[in-house]
């Protein structure tokens, strides 16, 4: 059972550098891969988080643009600026993206970074980052404030993603706010839905055509038997 919580939690006092150092040492002792956290001289630290993408609506991307290369990333080339043409498609459900971030990286920056990596040109406000927790057989989702620091949450929870994981979902506020989408986006959505409908109809036709053929073959064999 999935339960989404929207209650804000009270933030404790910020930890001291010595407390952070102890937490990082304890965290790294539990890491089973090379994804360690590193403490900097100024008291900040860096590490990795994994974000599950659970987007159920299509996203808008530049049309006809190749995936971003290492050269583009190093040169900070924004491929979305190369063309004004747009198209929509569904990202793979529950895809996982690993990010190397700092303790000063906010939820807002994580969302923007994810959209940039997938070349999504939709407004970041259409998306929200949730923390996923498991308790008493339930899967609990809590929407994170844009000013929250995901790496600190990862540090407190430890490296076990069964205890805490991050999920990117649509920023649901009840009903879908269709006014937030542009006319080309809405037209693309209609095209996608039309294609899905036609594919579904073809699947049903093929299913019953196979059933019809098997039934006819069975009747033919039955007529050929004596008695």
Q: Do 39 and 96 meet the contact criterion of CB atoms below 8 Å apart? A: no
Q: How confident is the model over 188-200, as a mean pLDDT? A: 79
pLDDT of residue 74: 43
Q: How confident is the model at residue 83 (pLDDT cuts 50, 70, 90)?
A: low
pLDDT for position 71: 44
Instruction: Find all residues with CB under 8 Å of 10, minimum gap 6, and list them.
Output: none
Q: How confident is the model at residue 155, as a pLDDT?
A: 95
**215 vs 87, more confident:** 215
Higher pLDDT: 160 or 57? It is: 160
Q: What is the pLDDT of residues 131-167, one digit of tens each?
A: 998 877 788 889 999 999 999 999 999 999 888 999 9
The confidence band for 69, taking pLDDT boundaries of 50, 70 and 90, is very low
- SS in 3 state form for the chain? CEEEECCCCCCCCCCCHHHHHHHHHHHHHHCCCCCCCEECCCCCEEEEEEEEECCCCCEEEECCCCCCCHHHHHCCCCHHHCCCCEEEECCCCCEEEEEEEECCCCHHHHHHHHHHHCCCCCCHHHEEEEEEEEECCEEEEEECCCCCCHHHHHHHHCCCCCCCEEEEEECCCCCCCHHHCCHHHHHHHHHHHHHHHHHHHHHHHHHHHHHHHHHHHHHHHHHHCCC
Q: Give the H/E segment covering residue 143.
A: strand 138-143
Percent of the chain's residues with pLDDT above 70: 79
Supply the pLDDT for residue 72.
45
Query: Which of the four pLDDT bands, split at 50, 70 and 90, describes residue 128?
Result: very high
Residues 70 and 31: beta-carbon distance below 8 Å: no
Instruction: State the pLDDT at residue 177.
Output: 56
Query: What's residue 78's pLDDT?
Result: 52
pLDDT at 168 over 90: yes
Whole-structure pTM value: 0.63
Q: Given pLDDT bands bounded at 50, 70 and 90, which one contains residue 77?
A: very low
Stretch 9-31: mean pLDDT, rounded?
85
- The tens digit of pLDDT for each residue in 86-100 reads 777 777 777 889 999
| Sign of the dihedral defined by the CA atoms of residues 201, 205, 211, 214, in that order | negative
Q: Is the dihedral of CA 20, 26, 28, 31 positive or negative?
A: negative
Residue with tokens 């459900």: 93
């Amino acid at each position: 059972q999935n339960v989404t919580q929207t209650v804000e939690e009270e933030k404790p006092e910020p930890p001291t550098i010595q407390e952070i150092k102890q937490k990082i040492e304890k965290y790294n002792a539990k890491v089973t891969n090379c994804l360690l956290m590193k403490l900097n001289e100024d008291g900040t630290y860096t590490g990795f988080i994994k974000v599950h993408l659970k987007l159920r609506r299509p996203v808008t991307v530049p049309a006809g643009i190749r995936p971003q290369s290492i050269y583009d990333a190093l040169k900070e080339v924004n491929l979305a600026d190369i063309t004004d043409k747009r198209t929509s498609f569904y990202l793979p459900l529950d895809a996982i993206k690993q990010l190397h971030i700092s303790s000063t990286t906010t939820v807002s920056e994580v969302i923007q970074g994810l959209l940039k990596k997938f070349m999504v040109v939709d407004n970041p406000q259409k998306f929200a980052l949730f923390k996923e927790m498991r308790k008493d057989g339930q899967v609990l989702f809590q929407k994170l404030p844009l000013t929250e620091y995901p790496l600190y949450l990862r540090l407190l929870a430890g490296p076990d993603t069964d205890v805490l994981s991050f999920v990117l979902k649509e920023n649901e506020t009840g009903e879908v706010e269709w006014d937030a989408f542009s006319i080309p986006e809405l037209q693309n959505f209609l095209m996608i839905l039309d294609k899905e409908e036609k594919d579904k109809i073809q699947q049903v036709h093929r299913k019953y055509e196979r059933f019809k053929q098997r039934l006819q073959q069975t009747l033919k064999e039955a007529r050929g038997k004596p008695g």
